[in-house]
Amino acid sequence: MIIKAKVKSLASKIDKLLKKTKKETYFTVIRKGISSEPKTMRFGKTVWSKHGNFIKYDFLLVDKTYDDKKSKFKGFYNPEIYNMQDLLAYISNYVEELTDLLVDKKAFSAKEIEVVKNKAKKRQSEKIREFYRVKDIDL
């Protein structure tokens, strides 16, 4: 089962949800008014746009049974696209952190570079979200 949905919410509420789902790929979904049976699902493709304090999301929820039947490494440009996304997000964060440090310090050490690399790695999933950002999901 795949569910397509649109949501508009305060950015702070979305941040709380993302923190909860960041540690675990799958979470429980109850389709209120449709069925009380809990489904184990994950986020699929998520396109989003920011509007002041609000974020609009156009996303898919994918049932775990779908993943159990299908390998993510089959299909067009897979696994390359997954690997490229991970690497590009890492490199982008690395450059941003390194640039900030160079500007602030005017010099750097090997230890400082290692700290920057670790920060970039920790923020990698945040940067991947940017690939799905659009000006407005309704356009």
- Give yes or no for residue 79 having a pLDDT over 80: no
Residues 93, 129, single domain; the answer is yes
Q: What's the number of CA atoms in the CB half-sphere (13 Å) around residue 86?
A: 6
Residue 46 phi/psi, 5-degree rounding, is: -130, 110
Helix (H) or strand (E) holding 82: helix 80-105
- Give yes or no for residue 78 having a pLDDT over 70: no
Q: How confident is the model at residue 36 (pLDDT cuts 50, 70, 90)?
A: very high
Neighbours of 118 (CB within 10 A): 12
Q: Last residue of some domain: 69, 94, 118?
A: 69
- The pLDDT tens digits for 109-139 are 878 888 988 999 999 888 888 888 888 988 8
Q: Are 50 and 11 in contact (CB under 8 A)?
A: yes
Distance from C-alpha of 31 to C-alpha of 67, rounded to nearest angstrom = 20
Residues 4, 60, single domain; the answer is yes
Residues 110, 61, single domain; the answer is no
- The pLDDT tens digits for 46-76 are 888 999 989 998 988 989 988 777 655 555 5
- Give yes or no for residue 38 having a pLDDT over 90: yes
Residues 64, 77, single domain; the answer is no
User: What is the DSSP annotation of 84-111?
Assistant: HHHHHHHHHHHHHHHHHHHHHHSS--HH
Residues 1, 23, single domain; the answer is yes
Mean pLDDT of the chain: 85
* DSSP character at residue 133: B
Q: How many domains does the chain have?
A: 2
Q: Which domain covers residue 41, as residue numbers?
A: 1-69
Residues 28, 78, single domain; the answer is no
pLDDT at residue 93, as a whole number: 93
Residues 75, 25, single domain; the answer is no
Residue 31 phi/psi, 5-degree rounding, is: -90, 85
Residues 30, 63, single domain; the answer is yes
Q: Last residue of some domain: 69, 87, 122?
A: 69
Three-state secondary structure call for residue 43: strand
Q: Considering the chain, what percentage of its residues have pLDDT values greater than 90?
A: 27
Q: Is the pTM of this model over 0.85?
A: no
Distances (CA, A) of 18 to 24, 34, 90: 10, 25, 19
Neighbours of 128 (CB within 10 A): 16
Examine residue 38 and say whether the peptide bond preceding it is cis (omega within 30 degrees of 0).
no
